[in-house]
Structure 1
Amino acid sequence: MADSKVRTQRPLSPHLQIFRLYLTMLMSILHRITGGALYFGTVILVVWLVAAATGRSGFEQVQWFLGSIVGRLILFGYTWALIHHMIGGVRHLVWDVGLGFGPEARENMARLNIIGSVVLTILIWVVAYAVR
């Protein structure tokens, strides 16, 4: 009969003191979060479209909310999530082709994803206000 008191060596989880969050790990997490945020942003878009189809009063209420500071912050966040998720998708497409797997290339693409999404979001909003 086997000795039941023998302990097996199991790997230990990394402790918070030695755990290091890499930029590519953060980008993976952000890609998932922005995907979820796009779901809720699309619900807001559908509410806006349904309000436009149902009549003037409902549409004006939705327009009032989206025109408020809170509504604009939500729309700004939705725009950033959309752009960030799109650029992340392009990054994954580059990987699907078999390019950009080196450590330096991965880090550079992650930085470009963050910088590009912020710059494009601001540019979209600047152009939107200029055309308005």
Structure 2
Amino acid sequence: MVGNILKHKRPVNLDLKTIHFPITAIASILHRVSGVMIFVGLAILIWLLGLSLSSVAGFASAMAIADNFFMKIILWGILTAFAYHVVGGFRHIFMDFGLIKENFESGQKTAKISFIVTAALSVLALILVW
């Protein structure tokens, strides 16, 4: 009986262009991606902190590095990832405590709200970095 299940031919769609994820799946995937970005970004931030605390010259070096255009983009990306991860985390906490219903409609609404709030926080982070 198990052999018959394994031999059963099912259609497999591996064309990622034709797969359309719901917004809740996109929000979940982005929450995981933002967590990885924060993990990697923390290494950069800790390195900059260590450099800035090493000496007066180290502080000047850290300031020069942070003033670089590409580093500003990296810092803005880290702050945006942190903002999305926090907003998504609160979304999950509210669902866990029953403050938001756990159905598809409310999941869609809260995902859209989290994207909007993150966009606003991202603009704020952009202003702060520059």
Confirm or deny a common fold (TM above 0.5). Answer: yes
| Aligned equivalents of 1:59, 1:13: Cα separation in 2 | 56
Judging changes above 3 Å, is the alpha-carbon distance between structure 1 residues 13 and 97 closer, same or farther for their aligned structure 2 residues?
A: farther
Residues 54, 15 of structure 1: alpha-carbon distance in 2 compared, 3 angstrom cutoff = closer
State the match for 1:101 in structure 2. Answer: 102
Q: Which residue type is aligned with residue 33 of structure 1?
A: V
3-state SS in 2 of match to 1:100 = coil
**TM superposition shift of 1:84:** 0.2
| Cα distance change, pair 51–15 in 1 and its aligned pair in 2 (3 A) | closer
Tell me: CA distance 1:92–1:10, structure 2 relative to 1, closer, same or farther (3 Å).
Answer: farther
- The aligned runs of 1:28-67 (5 Å cut-off) are 28-67=28-67
Secondary structure of 1:20's aligned partner? coil
What is the deviation of 1:100? 2.7
Question: By how many angstroms is 1:8 displaced?
Answer: 3.5
Aligned pairs, number: 127
Conserved? CA contact 2:95–2:102, under 8 Å: yes
Q: 2:92 & 2:58 partners in 1: Cα distance?
A: 40
Structure 1 residues not aligned, in runs of 5+:
none
Q: Distance in 2 between matches of 1:70 and 1:80?
A: 15
Deviations 1:80-132 (A, max 9, x none): 00000000001111121233322221111111111101102212443x37xx9
Contact 2:76 2:125 in 1 (8 A): no
Identity across aligned pairs (percent)?
23
Q: Is the 8 A contact 2:52 2:59 kept in 1?
A: yes
Counterpart-to-counterpart distance in 1, 2:59 and 2:66:
10
Unpaired runs of 5+ residues, structure 2, are none
Instruction: Say if 2:11 is the partner of 1:12.
Output: yes
TM-align CA RMSD: 2.7
Larger-gyration structure (1/2): 1
Amino acid at match of 1:53: L
Q: TM-score, normalised by structure 2?
A: 0.82
TM-score by length of 1: 0.81
> Where has structure 1 moved over 6 Å in runs of 4 or more?
none
Amino acid at match of 1:110: A
